[in-house]
């Protein structure tokens, strides 16, 4: 305190209040978000790919059920045409798989076996995913690894 002519004058202090963030703080936040995104995005892409694969697996089973339903109503596979169950899937949106139906005939010409095959379309997001198949015995395969029942082998 300074005394001047018997009057006490207190020194003035200037307090600056800080509003907002500093550039360093913002850069740290941006770096942290970048690291999190670099870790999370590939996992998200794999999750989306797995979901689309699962959708195609469900579609193959649905198509197989339709084939068997037609067999039950008509008494044989002979009236089933491969074009009825072949095409690109999904039907709506961007096609990811090309599905084909192969009917095998035995010696007497009756078709007894069928196999549905879903091959990834080369220009799609699923191009490197591998081939899926489902047959008349309920055998489910991914590439050459097969399972029965609920098993689609990865």
- DSSP annotation of 54 reads H
2 found inside a domain: no
127 falls within a domain? yes
Query: In this structure, is residue 97 part of a structural domain?
Result: yes
Residue 28 C-alpha from the chain's centroid? 33
Is 61 part of any domain?
yes
pLDDT tens by residue, the chain, 154 residues? 555 566 666 666 666 676 788 899 999 999 999 999 999 998 898 899 999 999 999 999 999 999 989 888 887 777 777 788 888 988 888 899 999 998 876 655 666 788 999 999 998 888 888 899 998 888 888 876 776 655 665 5
Q: Do the domain assignments include residue 51?
A: yes
Q: H or E stretch including 99?
A: strand 97-105
DSSP, res 149: T
**Cβ(130)–Cβ(142) under 8 Å?**
yes
Evaluate whether residue 12 is within a structural domain: no
How many domains would you assign to the chain? 1
Query: What is the domain extent for residue 78?
Result: 24-147
d(CA 131, CA 96): 12
Residues 59 and 93: beta-carbon distance below 8 Å:
no
Backbone angles phi, psi at 88, to 5 degrees: -95, 140
Q: Does residue 114 fall inside a structural domain? A: yes
CATH number of the domain that residue 29 is part of:
3.30.700.10
Give the integer Cα–Cα distance in Å for 136 and 87. Answer: 19
Whole-model pTM: value is: 0.71
**Cα angle, residue 45 at apex, residues 44 and 49 outer, rounded to 5°:** 115
Residue 9 domain-assigned? no
């Amino acid at each position: 305190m300074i005394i001047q002519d018997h009057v006490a004058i207190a020194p003035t202090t200037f307090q600056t209040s800080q509003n907002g963030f500093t550039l360093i703080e913002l850069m740290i936040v941006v770096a942290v978000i970048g690291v999190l995104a670099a870790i999370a995005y590939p996992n998200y892409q794999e999750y989306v790919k797995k979901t689309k694969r699962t959708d195609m697996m469900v579609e193959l089973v649905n198509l197989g059920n339709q084939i068997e339903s037609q067999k039950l109503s008509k008494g044989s596979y002979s009236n089933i045409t491969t074009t009825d169950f072949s095409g690109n899937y999904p039907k709506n949106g961007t096609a990811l798989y090309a599905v084909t139906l192969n009917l095998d005939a035995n010696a007497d010409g009756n078709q007894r076996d069928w196999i549905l095959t879903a091959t990834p379309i080369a220009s799609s997001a699923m191009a490197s995913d591998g081939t899926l198949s489902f047959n008349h015995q309920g055998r489910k395969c991914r590439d050459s690894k097969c399972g029965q029942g609920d098993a689609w082998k990865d």
